[in-house]
Amino acid sequence: MVETTTAKNSSSHGSKQASEQSIEQQMALQQQLIDFVMDAEDEGAIALESFSAQQLSRWAKPPFSGVNRTELAVVMFAAEGTIPCENDGVVTQCSVIDTFIQNTPSLNATQQDCLQQWKRSFNGLFVVDAVVDGRYTLTNWLTQKQYNVYANSEQPDETLNRMRVGEMMIARIMPVDISDVQFWTFSGPLTLLGKLGKPKLAVAIGNFRQWFPTHLYGDAPALKEAAWESVREQHTDFLELFGSEKAVMSGHELN
């Protein structure tokens, strides 16, 4: 029994070391991508400025505080932004990641695959379900999907020490693959919201919708389509009941 337990502990320790090593390698690669974004000129610089301005405008009212908003905007642009490019004489839009790969011949196949995976990065409103040895089990509150997320060297210790079970947070996560086993790590700064009761949780959800409208169903496109289908059904029901898209009546009639 002792030998079995020791073997399990050794395997777990080895897995944890492999995870940490892979994460830090990917964080170094992410820094290369961000440096590429920050060094961009002409169309690249204009695209970054436009993207950042749009995000900062969304984060102004209500104010998205407690986080370096400029840093977050750059991280988001690096993973999901586009830059004008020319293909066969036709100007089109290319992803920042694809442009980085095309302009960095030193990248190996594994690094290129990691970069392509990062296109699945997203911002979410998460709750902490469990904390085990540097790994956080998080549930996306809006889609109820669960993720195993590891911290990396970019998160300050004081922030990580506050991440306890029940804590709500706004975080951006990106996928990490090791031997076909996928987990996630944080990408960019975190915003810890505390343990929220129903009234404050409702406010947090409303704020998230304002700040990250394209990420409401960032990890569940099927749910997004279902939501739109529900809206269409309600619209049809309204037309069938009232006969037009606008109905005028007294409060008594409405009751």
SS (H, E, C) 180-206: CEEEEEECCCCEEEECCCHHHHHHHHH
Q: In this structure, how many other beta carbons lie within 10 angstroms of the beta carbon of residue 240? A: 8
- Pairing label, strands 146-150, 135-140: antiparallel
The pLDDT value given to residue 2: 40
CA 132 to chain CA centroid, Å, is 22
Q: Which residues of the chain have pLDDT under 50?
A: 1-12, 14
CA distance readout (Å), 125 to 17, 21, 72, 122, 206: 28, 27, 15, 10, 11
Q: Could you tell me if 181 and 192 are in contact, meaning their C-beta atoms sit under 8 angstroms apart? A: no
Q: Collapse the DSSP code of 106 into the 3-class scheme (helix H, G, I; strand E, B; otherwise coil) and give the result.
A: coil
- Pairing label, strands 135-140, 168-178: unpaired
The pLDDT value given to residue 197: 92
pTM: 0.77
The pLDDT value given to residue 178: 61
Could you give phi then psi for residue 222, rounded to 5 degrees?
-65, -35
